[in-house]
Structure 1
Amino acid sequence: MNEVPSKLKARAARKSAKREEKKRQIAESAIKALKELGYANTGLRDIAEKNDLSLGMLHYYFEDRTALIIYCVSIYKEVFVRNISEALEKAEGREEVIEAFSEALVYSIVDDETTHRLWYDIRAQAMFDETFRPIVDEIEKKLIGIVRTAFEKAGQDVPENIEISYALLDGVFRYLMQGQIGKNRKSREELIQAFRTLLGQFF
């Protein structure tokens, strides 16, 4: 009796999975254009041209540019949060947490500099465009959660104003990341030492 509905559900699930996979592939391709041109200078046509896609294909999966950019930022930050969380998971105690956290943050600055620029671009846009606010709030809650985990793994009491600790760390991260764009780039060791100093004050 339930065989046909079960087959229909399975078929729908496979179709949904394929659609999501294709959607993610398009978004990952779009990120390349967004990293190069930035939010303000990138339209759907630019993304389509740089990735050999038709505008019709983009519109099939994403309602508009905003929907595409929100999806792009969410999948990128998902990877960032996972990488930092995995680094902290292996650390135990104050010194290991400081070292693991510092190295993971610097690794991300050095390897994902242009993608971080896109995140800060979108976060700034959220102050003017409420469409971006839900995804920015969602991502920042996850980032605050990482800072909370770091305090716990370091054996420290989590501050009541954990959001302030996050804001301080984020400010340093953004400043150092931005510095890597100019002529006075810091070495990996100098970046790590900057985070060691800040996290040492936290813990």
Structure 2
Amino acid sequence: MTDSVTDKLQLREQRNSQKRNEKKALIADSALQALHELGFANTSLRDIAARAGLSLGMLHYYFEDKTALIAYCVKTYKSGFMASLEGALAGEQDRAAVVARLSGVLAFAIFNDGPTHRLWYDIRNQALFDPAFRETVNDIEQSLVQVMKNAWVLAGHSDSSFSPLVYSAVDGAFQYLVHQQALGVAKNQQAIAGELQWVLERIL
């Protein structure tokens, strides 16, 4: 096979892979809409297929089952969320700035993407009982721990003094505020940022 033919085949394969990934991303958007409205337990693949304008068979072409689809959705969103946290911390060397920037990004996430974070906590709980979610949940959680470790060091602490319990404390505050928004004890973004800043000042 000539180099020219090989190059064309590789290019075609790359295009097909890109199209497949784009389609999966569109399906994930439809899935998140359904999950926000119905919750994990009440959302079926048929619900998601209907929102995505696909047959159930076509949906199975892209995702083996509901677990695979949900894991993809959560992992995709959390990757973007972690990137925003890392971006907020980039270049910061002052504790006050780290606290302010981090509380701002977390508050934005709660105020604007609360339903997706509620889904994350739902899936994290499911992982206690369903092994199918454990690898995805563990990967995401370890990445979040690393982000918090970076914040810890930037705030002036030594790398060796960090404990994952620092992440756990911040996550507990974040989860509480996510749930408060969902339960109707809603605050504006600025108020949420203020509460998170109060917590982070005591943890970091």
Residue 81 of structure 1 is matched in structure 2 by: 82
User: How far has the Cα of 1:99 moved from its partner?
Assistant: 0.3
1:10 aligns with 2:4: no
Deviations, residues 168-201 of structure 1 (Å, cap 9, x unaligned): 1101100011001123223333322221122112
Q: Is the 8 A contact 2:86 2:147 kept in 1?
A: yes
Q: Which runs of 5+ in 2 are unaligned?
A: none
Q: Structure 2 length as normaliser, TM-score?
A: 0.94
Residue 46 of structure 2 is matched in structure 1 by: 45
- Aligned equivalents of 1:117, 1:42: Cα separation in 2: 15
- Aligned equivalents of 2:146, 2:175: Cα separation in 1: 18
Residue 20 of structure 2 is matched in structure 1 by: 19
1:118 aligns with 2:114: no
Residue 197 of structure 2 is matched in structure 1 by: 196
- Aligned equivalents of 1:23, 1:192: Cα separation in 2: 33
Residue 150 of structure 1 is matched in structure 2 by: 151
Count residues with an aligned counterpart: 203
Q: Is the 8 A contact 1:147 1:162 kept in 2?
A: no
Q: Structure 1 length as normaliser, TM-score?
A: 0.94
Residue 63 of structure 2 is matched in structure 1 by: 62
Q: CA RMSD in A?
A: 1.5
Deviations, residues 40-84 of structure 1 (Å, cap 9, x unaligned): 000100111223221122111011111111111111111111111
Residue type at the aligned position of 1:157: S
Q: Is the 8 A contact 1:98 1:196 kept in 2?
A: yes
Residue identity over aligned pairs, in percent, reads 44
Residue 179 of structure 2 is matched in structure 1 by: 178
Q: Which runs of 5+ in 1 are unaligned?
A: none
Q: Which runs of 4+ in 1 moved over 4 A?
A: none
